């Protein structure tokens, strides 16, 4: 077990300092991948990386998308010799107090994908709640199981060995579709899933990079493709479940 923290960021300069400060008590190395942010966020990141010796920063010269930033982070963590990344978003919606539960789940079952299962408060828009239920129904069909309680939550513990092997064959999407596709494909590979409660907060002045039309179309295309491809993986999934190697 040699975990690190991973934060993908794009133009969340106003929140990144608080997010990193909340993670300091964990005493874990933290990798931040800046996905082509503008000047304000670049300056905030320089301040953060200069203030904390356990923070390292990597930059994309231009915005390539959330999925591309996460792939960069996973491969970077793998090169540095880490076994797992605990991934958390830069916008402050995740409660850093939930990260120890993710780490404990990783330690108990190091071969598993640990997913945050959102616990919403009253600040959560109804559209987000409904959208997540639609995503859940899709992935339950695509994996023929209820293992994934939420495919979109950015708080998760990722086993790097199985993930990096998968990404060599199937890079997954570059943008908001990445998290969902990675979770589904890891289940197809027989990677077990552990779900951990994750508190999610929405802020009135929060910045979201989810583009309602473009990203919903992208997710719809993804789910159509995964559902059509699922039948090719079904025999293997059945064998794995009979052997007890998948949850």
What does the DSSP assignment read for 11-42? Answer: S-TTTHHHHHHHHGGG---EEEEEES--HHHH
| Percent of the chain clearing pLDDT 90 (strictly above) | 68
pLDDT surpassing 70 at residue 212: no
pLDDT of residue 222 exceeding 60: yes
Q: What is the pLDDT of residues 123-136, one digit of tens each?
A: 666 666 667 788 89
Contact 82, 88 (CB under 8 A): no
pLDDT digits (tens, 9 = 90+) for 140-150: 999 989 999 99
Q: What whole-number distance in Å separates Cα of residue 203 and Cα of residue 122?
A: 11
Q: Which domains does the chain have, with CATH numbers?
A: 3-243 (3.90.550.10)
Q: Which of 75-84, 200-209, 211-220 has the highest mean pLDDT?
A: 75-84
- Flag whether pLDDT at 247 surpasses 60: no
Is there a contact between 68 and 173 (Cβ–Cβ < 8 Å)?
no
Band of pLDDT at residue 203, cut at 50, 70 and 90: low
Q: With beta carbons less than 8 A apart as the criterion, state whether 115 and 148 touch.
A: yes
Across the strands, what pairs with 217?
Answer: none
The SS3 assignment for 111 reads coil
| pLDDT tens-digit series, residues 148-192 | 999 999 999 999 999 999 999 998 988 889 999 999 999 999 999
206 vs 13, 92, 101, 129, CA distance in Å?
12, 9, 25, 17
Partners of 200 in the beta sheet? 94, 120
- CA 213, 218, 221, 224: dihedral to nearest 10 degrees? -100
Mean pLDDT (whole number) for 102-130: 86
- Please determine, for residue 216, whether its predicted confidence score (pLDDT) is greater than 80: no
> What is the predicted pLDDT for the residue at 51?
94
What are the CA-CA distances from residue 115 to residues 86, 149, 184, 194, 197 (Å)? 10, 8, 12, 6, 9
Q: Mean pLDDT of all residues in the chain?
A: 89
| The pLDDT of residue 246 is above 50 | no
Label residue 3 by pLDDT band (50, 70, 90).
very high
Q: How far is CA 72 from CA 33, 111, 228, in A?
A: 7, 21, 28
């Amino acid at each position: 077990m040699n975990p690190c923290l991973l934060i993908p960021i794009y133009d969340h300069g106003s929140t990144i300092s608080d997010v990193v400060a909340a993670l300091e008590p964990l005493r874990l190395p933290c990798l931040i991948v800046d996905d082509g942010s503008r000047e304000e966020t670049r300056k905030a990141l320089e301040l953060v990386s200069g203030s904390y010796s356990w923070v390292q920063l990597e930059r994309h010269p231009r915005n390539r998308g959330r999925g591309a930033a996460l792939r960069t982070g996973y491969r970077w963590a793998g090169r540095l010799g880490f076994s797992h990344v605990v991934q958390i978003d830069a916008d402050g919606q995740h409660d850093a107090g939930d990260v120890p539960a993710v780490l404990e789940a990783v330690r108990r079952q190091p071969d598993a994908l640990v997913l945050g299962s959102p616990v919403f408060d009253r600040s959560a828009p109804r559209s987000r709640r409904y959208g997540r239920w639609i995503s859940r129904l899709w992935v339950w069909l695509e994996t023929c199981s209820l293992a994934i309680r939420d495919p979109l939550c950015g708080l998760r513990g990722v086993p790097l060995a199985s993930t990096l092997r998968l990404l060599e064959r199937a890079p997954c999407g570059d943008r908001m579709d990445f998290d969902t596709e990675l979770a589904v494909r890891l289940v197809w590979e027989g990677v077990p899933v552990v779900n951990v409660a994750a508190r999610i907060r929405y802020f009135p002045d929060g910045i979201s990079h989810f583009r309602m039309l473009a990203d919903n179309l992208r997710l719809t295309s993804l789910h159509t493709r995964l559902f059509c491809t699922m039948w090719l993986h079904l025999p293997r999934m059945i064998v794995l479940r009979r052997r007890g190697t998948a949850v």
